[in-house]
Structure 1
Amino acid sequence: MKQPATPLSIDPKTALLLDQQICFALYSTSLAMTKIYRKVLAELGLTYPQYLVMMVLWERDEITVSEIGERLFLDSATLTPLLKRIEALGLITRARAIKDERQVIVTLTSAGKKLRKQAESIPLSILCATGCAPAELVEIRDSLGKLRSKLIDAEQGS
């Protein structure tokens, strides 16, 4: 029985098969995960990107826009409109730093802090939706983190 071609195959007959591509596996899995999050986050009134920003702020409040961008791998052009929408929800405030007016400090409001309690059930909901054991998800997460690092290094020419 012939082994299926791998994404690194040089066989021109199989090299471009969609189901052999790691990029498609990541993309389609991301879409599926985002759909699950959309349902779970509806109760909180947040989109998935907004939830990511809130998680960063729940870890560490009163940080700069650039620090949030570094954590989420987003540039300020993408992040600024996102932060404006979260601010309109009354969950954060944005203010210029006193020491350096070029920096914008993002701070949770009391409503933003309270929302954390409601969000505590989300990881368990996602775990259940995956049907995976916790250890399996940790392994997948760690493997994806290593892959992301390698891709960033490759993109930066390391």
Structure 2
Amino acid sequence: MNARAPDLPALPAEEMLRLDNQVCFALHATSRAFDALYRSLLRDLGLTYPQYLVMLTLWESDGLTVKDLGARLRLDSGTLSPLVKRLESAGLVERRRGRQDERSVSVHLTAEGAALRERAAAVPPRVMEASGLGTDELRDLRGMLLKLTERLDATNA
């Protein structure tokens, strides 16, 4: 288990259960705001946010197995398979069965899927602009969120 977090000043019981004092709710509200922002930014690309995450991952590492893609995105196969099927129907990816093991399926970008990367390059700067945060602030925030995720994963293991 990771080192114990520094002691925080105790809040009165009635304050501990206030919605506005919950980190989880702040993260939930932020996630919903990001969803709305990405929905509008990705509309022109014809992608949903989860599909965008799949494409980002494949633009980094084309040809991942569905299992590796799911691990990277923290998605189970029941969630990931329909995403990949929709991307395949849109002509952006193709699935290939393994030659050695037909149970293994890898996902590959099509030429159209690879070309979409150029148009998607406009998305991150627009997200950064909408956030109103600078590069260093976003890097620090991302680092804190990764650390929080790691600690929560360790607690839930």
Assess same fold via TM > 0.5. Answer: yes
TM-score, normalised relative to structure 2: 0.92
Cα offset, 1:11, TM superposition? 2.5
Q: Aligned partners of 1:64, 1:121: CA distance in 2, in Å?
A: 28
1:59-117 per-position Cα deviation (integer Å, ceiling 9, x unaligned): 01011001111111111111001111111110000121111111111000000000000
One-letter code aligned to 2:36? K
Deviating 4+ runs (over 3 angstroms): 7-10
TM-score, normalised relative to structure 1: 0.92
1:58 aligns with 2:66: no
- Partner of 2:13, secondary structure, is coil
Aligned residues: 150
Q: Report what 1:90 is aligned to.
A: 91
Q: Report what 1:70 is aligned to.
A: 71
- Partner of 2:99, secondary structure, is coil
Aligned 8 A contact 1:8 1:15 in 2: no
Runs of 5+ unmatched residues, structure 1: 1-6
Runs of 5+ unmatched residues, structure 2: 1-7
Q: Aligned partners of 2:10, 2:78: CA distance in 1, in Å?
A: 38
- Partner of 1:25, secondary structure, is helix
Percent of matched pairs sharing the same residue: 46
Mark the CA change 1:10 to 1:119 in structure 2 (over 3 Å): closer, same or farther: same
Q: Report what 2:117 is aligned to.
A: 116
Q: Which structure ranks higher in relative contact order (CA pairs < 8 Å, sequence separation ≥ 6)?
A: 2
Q: Report what 1:47 is aligned to.
A: 48
Q: Aligned partners of 1:127, 1:35: CA distance in 2, in Å?
A: 14
- Partner of 2:14, secondary structure, is coil
Q: Aligned partners of 1:80, 1:12: CA distance in 2, in Å?
A: 44
Cα offset, 1:50, TM superposition? 0.2
1:11-37 per-position Cα deviation (integer Å, ceiling 9, x unaligned): 221111001001100000000011111
